[in-house]
Amino acid sequence: MAQWKNEHHQARHLCYAYRFGIKQDIYRANDDGEPSNSAGAPILGQIQSFDLTNVLIGVVRYYGGTKLGVGGLINAYRTAAKEAIENGKIITEVVKDRFELFFSYQDMALIMDAVKESDASINKQIFENDCYLKIAIKIESTELLLSKLASFDSLKIEKIGTF
């Protein structure tokens, strides 16, 4: 925020809204001195209408000599946020469960078959006496893969997280 204010030191208002998280439950709207709910809320409203998460939108407003009124401010901030979304690049990511698999080399072929059949992506692999896989799998496929892997005695599975 300090860098933003430094870059736009003559701006009257630096308003923003953000929403983060898989459940879209971390959010905030900031009016930066504009009348209550006339800046941050319209920006957040556009984030919600486009059903976005893991996004921050900031709008820098310089005073141009004309008072907009609350309705004009709401429209200006909403329009700026909408145009930013429409002209920006939206990156769509599938939320996946991520695991590390540790196992002996003798089980490598069968474990690899199970992982490949489940359509998991392998992000890192090491095949030596002790083997290692770092995988990501769609949440809806996790349970089936884990049930297939349950029969391997040498296998240790550690969940990294869901993101």
The one-character DSSP state at 58 is E
Measured CA distances, 144 to 38, 97, 159 (Å): 49, 13, 15
Distance CA 44, CA 54 (A): 12
Give the number of other Cβ atoms within 10 Å of residue 142's Cβ.
18
Tell me the whole-structure pTM to 2 decimals: 0.73
Concatenate the DSSP letters of all residues of 23-50 into one string: TS-EEEEE-TTSSTTSSHHHHHHHHHHT
Query: Is residue 18 within 8 Å of 27, Cβ to Cβ?
Result: yes
The rounded distance, in Å, linking the Cα atoms of 158 and 98 is 9
Helix, strand, coil % in the chain, rounded to nearest 5: 35, 30, 35
pLDDT of residue 21: 92
pLDDT at 8: 80
- Name all domains of the chain by residue range, CATH numbers in brackets: 2-87 (3.30.230.30), 96-162 (3.30.70.1110)
pLDDT at residue 66, as a whole number: 85
* Residue 83, phi then psi, degrees to nearest 5: -65, -35
Per-residue pLDDT of the chain (163 residues; tens, 9 = 90+): 777 777 887 888 999 999 999 889 999 999 999 999 999 999 999 999 999 999 999 999 988 888 899 999 999 999 999 999 999 999 998 899 999 999 999 999 999 999 999 999 999 999 999 999 999 999 999 999 999 999 999 999 999 999 8
Token pair for residue 56? 């921050």
Tell me which residue has tokens 């690049």. 89
